[in-house]
Structure 1
Amino acid sequence: MSVNVTSRPATDPTTTPEGGHDPAPVKAGIFSPAQLVTALPGALRKLDPRHLARNPVMFVVFAGSVVTTVMAVADPSVFSWAVTAWLWFTVLFANLAESVAEGRGKAQAASLRKVKQDTVAHRITASGALESVPGTDLVVGDRVVVVAGEVIPGDGDVVEGIATVDESAITGESAPVVRESGGDRCAVTGGTTVLSDRIVVRVTAAPGQSFVDRMIALVEGAARQKTPNEIALNILLASLTIIFLLAVVAIGPMGLYAGQEQDPIKLIALLVCLIPTTIGALLSAIGIAGMDRLVQRNVLAMSGRAVEAAGDIDTLLMDKTGTITFGNRQATALHPAPGVSALELATAARLSSLADGTPEGRSIVDLCARDFGLDPAPSEAERAAEFVPFTAQTRMSGLDIPHVSAKACLGTRRHSHGAEFDGTRIRKGASDAVLNWVHSLGGHTSPAVTDAVNEIAQAGGTPLVVASIQADAPTVLGVIALSDVVKPGIAERFAELRAMGIRTVMITGDNPLTAQAIAEEAGVDDFMAEATPEDKLALIRKEQEGGRLVAMTGDGTNDAPALAQADVGVAMNTGTSAAKEAGNMVDLDSDPTKLIEVVEIGKQLLITRGALTTFSLANDLAKYFAILPALFSVIYPQLDTLNIMRLATPESAILSAVIFNAVVIVALIPLSLKGVRYRPSSASTLLGRNLLVYGLGGVITPFAGIWLIDLVVRLIPGIG
């Protein structure tokens, strides 16, 4: 006989179909023209040659601007001053892109600083007394007492007590969270507020090194280092710049040999238009904006390298509990053994779960109360019985009922069930543990019970066996089915990852049958059952030996080795300090499914950089058709056939190309900040779309742009 119950973990109304939190609107991610005005002072400050020297491409433009300025002063003309002005605008606009990106980070840093406040900490002395000290005086290892209404003075782990904490100042999530000593939800962040109860916190971060401090440094750009890909691209851009510089320098002697001396200002304009100024100007802004998008989602990256690695991930390891499933398994059905009534099984299941404080144990008590009218709270007589708490060693919990209180235990509810449990020991727990306990005492197991256990496991549930011993006669009473509900929509998310070429692996401590059922329902590519910390580490190393990049989430100390080994290790903020130190990212919302978003942000960063690099190199083609005929058409009239845009004069052609070169930087700032939209698809599809949109677009756009600018420039006296 089976008693089925439709049950599902309660979900927060703010959760998404994938089980993650609905992020608040990210205003910082939306570009507005007003940001250009706000960022202008910062752009002017960046004209410092020491700052420009970090970017070889823009330093060449800066040097050319200085030279043309000197020449325009020495031999003034409308053309020389116009070219000089637009060269300076090119440098300024490049700084403007970086300044806008940094400005958004500074706005976020300002809001984060509101979280930081001078607090008085109640530190526990060596003698056990309390002393009040400023929060800034705390050192790693200090223990502080925080009670309801007080602000936690620094990052740390709860070592005593349990409390609800308001973390909205950090995460933006208004719902309070529970933090307790032990386990994987012991970490607290400085600046958050305790709402109830009392906890003792051991400080794990020195002043100035908290997560808030590191987050402020990150979003302000102070801690952002160039990533390997960015360094490689800088080297490529610098190499192209040197090549074009040598080519342009060679044009001077070639012109003299051909009998036409070249104007140095025109040669400088040619150089600026030929070198990859567009991507050189936007490269830093793209990197800052990519980090910014991560911060907007409350993920703190320890390095830009981790963000880029997320974009190249090949294998994604995710825990089953809390990531693929809701995490809190619920009692959904009772399967009595032959000859045992459902009511008798429910009574024993309730008694065996009264001392089980796990979510599963509480759900069993709730099921028995809801469907059989059994009191969820123990009676006075039941409290007098000997509770056997659940432990990881025994994997069982239960109750030993003495003869004197047996009837009282069973008659304290709305239903009296007789004295069939008189002097009984009741146990509930993992099937193998309980069955071994029964067999060790001389009992036997009905094949129907074994079949029920296998059936529940194959369906993706967790079977718990209930047994009792009365008068030295062990009896298996039946099986409780626990269901771990897969989050709706998670299969679609994994399908998107598969389209990206990313292999997903589910990690779980469940038995292989349960793991396989959950894996098939969730749609993951592979799974690892009964996983230990050593197994996780070995799997990551095996994947990396094949040249693949691996990402993983974790929150416990046992996850620390794997997080440290993974190319992208996202630790939960609620987790232990060991996990957060081992990972190279920390999710302040502690939402394991956010790893999927991190991968998408990394890919968007790489795609944006690649798209704008393609556009920058492609739009040089139109500049060749604009400037080269203007420089040599007098010597070689045949080159006039290359003037397909029919630009008015050599001067208007050169000036139009210079103006377009500067204006296109401003036009692309919004794209560099928002990022190129990422759609899950294969690498070949992404490359094809990139070449079509930004390659072909980079060729066509300058032809139209330079031609339109020339229509205006030719009206200027002395140029047209």
Structure 2
Amino acid sequence: MSNPWLLRSNPILMIVWIIAFIATILAISQYYAKASDYKLSMIITFWLWMTIFFAKLAEVLVEIRWNKSDSVINYNKSEKIIKKIFAINDTNTDYHKKYVEVKCSSIKSGDLILLLSGEIVPFDGIVVAGTGYVNETDSTGALSPTLKSHSDYNNRLVTGSFIESSDWLIMQVTLSERKSFFAKLTKLLANIERQQGSNEIALQRIIWGLGILFISVLFSIAAIADYSGIKIPIIYLLDMVVILLPTTLSGLQHAIIMYGTGALKTKHIIIRDKVALDNAVDVNVVVLDKTGTITVGQREMVDFMAVDRELSEKFINTVLYLSSVLDDTTEGESIKHFTEHKLEEDIPNIDFSKYQYLPFAATHPISGCDYYYAPGFANDNKLYQQFDIRKGSITEICKYLELHPNALPENIRTEIINITEVCGSVLLVTLNHKIFGIIHLRDKLRKQIKKQIQKIQDDDILTIMLTGDNANIAGYIAKKLGMHAYYAEVTPEKKLEFIRNLQQQGYTVAMYGDGVGDIAALAQADIGITFDRSVESVKNASNVVLCNNNIANILDIRNVCRIMAIKLGALTVFSLGADIAKYFVIVPALFTTAFPSLSVLNLFYFNSLDSVILSSVMFNALVTLVLIPIVFSNPIYYSKHSLWRNLLLYGLGGILSPFIFIKTIDMFVHWLGLV
């Protein structure tokens, strides 16, 4: 049968396994000892094993049910490959080109790794060679890239950041450094233990309470029987332990959880641990990180203002297209896509032999191109045969033009103010050393995010936004989305403290986040929710992974968990009623032999103690099989309006079914002559 260690998450079934194993040894010993009742012992032992079998059968049927679904998502982990460098020196300038690819798990503190443009920083570390711009959005929430250099004080790299410029960096891993970002998170996580919900704690107390109660009664019965001169076989005592334990509830509990998990998986929701299901029913506050969760987390072009209003739209978009046609940064890609959409079939054919792309780099913090002799690229009034195009921040473009920012034309400064007031970012574009226009960049809201937040709020759940970004941007987005509250410039430590404060006030908190700065808060929250695109460390801190960007999935989780809670509630009252009824079935039969006067309690006239024990064991196994359809039942039937009806139905069923069916089995067993 099943390995008992695999049943460790279900202690009641583990006890049944141990008892069945002992009963098997006793039955075999009786067989070799030629005992008169060895056949009955073997039959009873068989039904003990069937009790476990039917409980596991429910789980197997659930697995088959969801494995047939085409929409189930396979959640697989893959290990990242790292470019490791063994040594650096000042005499060899090409050392950054000599590396060995190794698995992420083999990297240790002090190792040197190479990071190229577009790569994610896999560990905390210090820049020891190279210079480049690094996007630290996932750790700080800020979208603007930060310059990192081995010769500068700002040389730390944080897990989850990525290299944004065309430069390269060599980093020394500092996993063990006490003051590193990774070490701080590790210290915070060490003191976090996500608590089970009150519903799950109550259910486990009921299961163990019933178990302890009935086992105590059993020992009392054994003591009274021994005092009365009734010799109860050991195997009968073992059987009565199984009969009186809440095996039905324990046997189907895990199957119901598996069914709920499978149902959520078809909605692209991966449940990583059962605590999420336990807490979901009571969620009343949803806390959301901004960058990457509410917003895309990447600056994208949303508009352009040309300095010369007489230029044709086709010419303007042609210049912008040329500036970014080979730009593989997120901003460059967005500019290219924006202009391609505008130009449609008028996208220019570029002679790349005359096109020189200038990438964004630490030594050249603006990007663009030089394109010579471009016939056909003409404005209405002027033919341009040379395109020297640059785009960059206000500061860098002013340096390029040798111009003070305050000396910019009035209309440009006014437009810059207008863009910043709506929490946008500015890129200046020059053409042939003259300001051409202003690109309006913004971290766009995710699609449908406003409707999703409204849907959550309509279900009487508070929504709060936390972000490491500045207060202006946070306030603008929170107001636009109608959030109940927001907090800006929040560090990972403050996020953790904020979640704890909410929990201490009695709230059940679900936290959404996708960056390494959210790890501690995700681990502390009652439900930590991240996304499939997140790095592995963030997923490990969460107990729910969404394979889509729909934050309203918390309602799906809560609804499924409500159905599960009602099913478990129905099984609990059934198990309680059935265990009490089985007590009144077994006790009269047990003492009728020693005390004939107690036969008046044997209302159903059971044939013998042997028959009652065997019939009860068979009922105990078969009732689990009969109740398996509850696991797969229609969720609509289990609405909150029918809660009391279900509890009454299963409560009465639990009390009456043992008397009816144990008596029926007793008659069948007696007719077959098994006892």
TM over 0.5: yes
Going from structure 1 to structure 2, the CA distance change for 1:423 and 1:651 (only over 3 Å counts) comes to closer
Aligned to 1:4: none
- Alpha-carbon deviations, 1:480-535, whole Å to 9, x = none? 58694653498368636864x65443456472564146524xxx655556766566
> Which whole-Å CA distance do the structure 2 matches of 1:591 and 1:241 have between them?
44
Match of 2:407 among 435, 438, 441: 441
1:371 aligns with 2:327: no
Please tell me the residue identity of whatever aligns with 2:342: D
Partners of 2:524 and 2:6 lie apart in 1 by: 42
Using a 3 Å threshold, how does the CA distance of structure 1 residues 245 and 540 change in structure 2: closer, same or farther?
Answer: closer
Amino acid at match of 1:511: I
Q: Which residue of 1 aligns with 2:577?
A: 618
1:246 to 201, 206, 216: 216
Q: Distance in 2 between matches of 1:235 and 1:428?
A: 63
Q: Which runs of 5+ in 1 are unaligned?
A: 1-39, 148-154, 161-180, 188-197, 206-224
Provide the rounded CA distance (Å) in 1 between the counterparts of 2:238 and 2:22.
10
Q: 2:451 aligns with which of 472, 476, 491?
A: 491
Letter of the aligned partner of 2:665 in structure 1? I
User: CA contact under 8 A between 2:510 and 2:528: conserved in structure 1?
Assistant: yes
In the alignment, which of 37, 44, 50 is matched to residue 76 of structure 1?
37
Matching residue within 623, 645, 668 for 1:712: 668
Pair 241,534 (structure 1): closer, same or farther in 2 beyond 3 Å: closer
SS of corresponding position for 1:715:
helix
- CA 699–446 in structure 1, closer or farther in 2 if over 3 Å, else same: farther
What TM-score, normalized by structure 1, do the two folds share? 0.57
Alignment partner of 1:511 is 2:467: no
Report the Cα distance in structure 2 between the residues aligned to 1:240 and 1:679, rounded to whole angstroms: 30
Is 2:453–2:552's contact at 8 Å kept on the other side of the alignment?
Answer: no
Does residue 639 (structure 1) correspond to residue 608 (structure 2)? The answer is no
Is the 1:333–1:482 contact (alpha carbons within 8 Å) kept by the matching residues of 2? Answer: no
Q: 2:484, 2:646 → 1: CA distance?
A: 28
How many angstroms does 1:616 deviate by? 2.4
Amino acid aligned to 2:316: T
Q: Is the 8 A contact 2:315 2:377 kept in 1?
A: no
CA contact (8 A) 1:53 1:59 kept: no
- Check 1:251–1:77 CA distance in 2 against 1; reply closer, same or farther (3 A cut): same
How far off is 1:276 after superposition? 1.6
Q: Distance in 1 between matches of 2:417 and 2:81?
A: 61
Pick aligned residue for 1:274 from 234, 239, 244: 244
- Residue 659 of structure 1, CA deviation: 0.7
- The match for 2:150 is none
Q: Is the CA contact 2:287–2:463 (under 8 Å) kept in the aligned structure 1?
A: yes
Whole-Å separation in 1 of the counterparts to 2:244 and 2:627: 18
Seen in structure 2, the aligned counterparts of structure 1 residues 425 and 415 have a Cα distance that, compared at 3 Å, is closer
AA partner of residue 547 (structure 1):
G
- What code does the residue aligned with 1:635 have? S
For the residues of structure 2 that align with 1:334 and 1:113, how far apart are their CA atoms?
Answer: 41
Aligned residue among 94, 108, 112 for 1:140: 108
- Return the offset for 1:661: 0.2
Aligned amino acid, residue 601 of structure 2: L
Letter in 1 for 2:502: E
> 8 Å contact 1:515–1:527 — kept in the other structure?
no
Q: C-alpha separation between the residues in 2 aligned to 1:199 and 1:679? A: 57
2:622 alignment counterpart:
663
Deviation digits for residues 86-126 of structure 1 (CA, Å, limit 9, x no counterpart): 345435656777899999999xxxx9999999x99986433
Q: How has the CA–CA distance of structure 1 residues 569 and 612 changed in structure 2, closer, same or farther, with 3 Å as cutoff?
A: same
The count of aligned residue pairs is 583
Of residues 540-549 and 328-337 in structure 1, the stretch that sits farther from structure 2 once superposed is: 328-337
Is residue 2:644 matched to residue 1:691? Answer: no
CA distance in 2, matches of 1:681, 1:200: 59
**1:90 corresponding residue in structure 2:** 51
Asked whether the equivalents of residues 315 and 379 of structure 2 are also in contact (C-alpha less than 8 Å), the reply is no
The 1-side partners of 2:6 and 2:515 are apart by: 48
Corresponding position of 2:377: 413
Give me the whole-angstrom Cα distance separating, in 2, the residues matched to 1:136 and 1:347.
46
Q: Which consecutive residues of structure 2, in runs of 5 or more, have no partner in the other structure? A: 68-72, 89-94, 117-121, 131-156, 176-193
Q: How does 1:244-643 map to 2 (within 5 A)?
A: 244-251=214-221, 254=224, 261=230, 264=233, 269-281=239-251, 299=270, 301=272, 308=278, 313-320=283-290, 323-324=293-294, 340=309, 343=312, 347=316, 351=320, 354=323, 359=330, 361-371=332-342, 413=377, 415-416=379-380, 418=382, 440-441=406-407, 443-444=409-410, 457=422, 484=444, 486-488=446-448, 491=451, 495=455, 499=459, 502-507=461-466, 509=469, 511-512=473-474, 514-516=476-478, 518-520=480-482, 526-528=485-487, 533=492, 536-570=495-529, 574-576=533-535, 579=538, 583-585=541-543, 587=545, 593=551, 596=554, 612-624=571-583, 626-631=585-590, 634-641=596-603, 643=604
Shift of 1:554: 3.4
| SS state at 1:542 partner | helix
Provide, for residues 580-601 of structure 1, a one-character-per-residue CA deviation record: whole Å limited to 9, x for no partner: 56x2458595867597477777
Q: Deviations over 1:215-242 (max 9, x none)?
A: xxxxxxxxxx998988986675455334
Partners of 2:305 and 2:637 lie apart in 1 by: 44
* Contact 1:426–1:466 (CA under 8 A) maintained in structure 2: no
C-alpha distance in structure 1 between counterparts of 2:414 and 2:239, whole Å: 87
Match of 1:126 in 2: 87
Secondary structure of the residue aligned to 1:126 is coil
> Matched residue of 2:671: which SS?
coil
Q: Give the conservation status (yes or no) of the 8 Å contact 2:318–2:348.
A: no
What's the CA shift string for 1:588-640, capped at 9, x where partnerless?
A: 95867597477777777766655544442232244245434544665235435
In 1, are the aligned partners of 2:243 and 2:617 still within 8 Å (CA)?
yes
- In 1, Cα distance between equivalents of 2:347 and 2:215: 86
Following superposition, the deviation at residue 562 of structure 1 comes to 3.4
Distance 2:537 2:406 in 1: 40
For the structure 1 residues 383 and 556, does the alpha-carbon distance in structure 2 shift closer, same or farther, using more than 3 Å as the test?
farther
Contact 2:321 2:340 in 1 (8 A): no
Counterpart Cα distance in 2 of 1:550 and 1:332: 35
1:295-338 deviation digits (Å, cap 9, x = unpaired)? 9969584x66566556665433334565456667765666789x
* SS of residue matched to 1:318: strand
- Structure 2 counterpart of 1:550, which letter? V
Shift of the 294–133 alpha-carbon distance from structure 1 to 2, 3 Å rule, reads: same
CA gap of 1:238–1:548, structure 2 versus 1, over 3 A, is same
| CA distance in 1: counterparts of 2:454 and 2:64, whole angstroms | 35
Distance 1:325 1:90, change over 3 A: same
CA distance in 2: counterparts of 1:448 and 1:121, whole angstroms: 47
452 and 381 in structure 1: CA distance in 2 versus 1, 3 angstrom threshold: farther
Task: Decide whether aligned partners of structure 1 residues 507 and 650 sit closer, same or farther in structure 2, where only a CA change above 3 A counts.
Answer: same
- What does the per-residue CA deviation read over 1:647-690, in whole Å, with 9 as the maximum and x for residues that have no partner? 67765554332211012334556866x7x8878999x7696576
Percent of pairs with identical residues: 26
Asked if 1 retains the 8 angstrom alpha-carbon contact of 2:87 and 2:112, the reply is: no
- Which residue identity does 1:487 align to in structure 2? K
TM-score, scaled relative to structure 2: 0.60
CA contact (8 A) 1:156 1:577 kept: no
Q: Secondary structure at the match of 1:247?
A: helix
Which digits, 9 at most, give the CA deviation of each residue in 1:392-423, with x for residues without a partner? Answer: xx9xx78799xxx9xx7998625456499x99
Distance in 1 between the 2:196 and 2:464 partners? 28
Contact 1:630 / 1:654 at 8 angstroms: preserved in 2? Answer: no
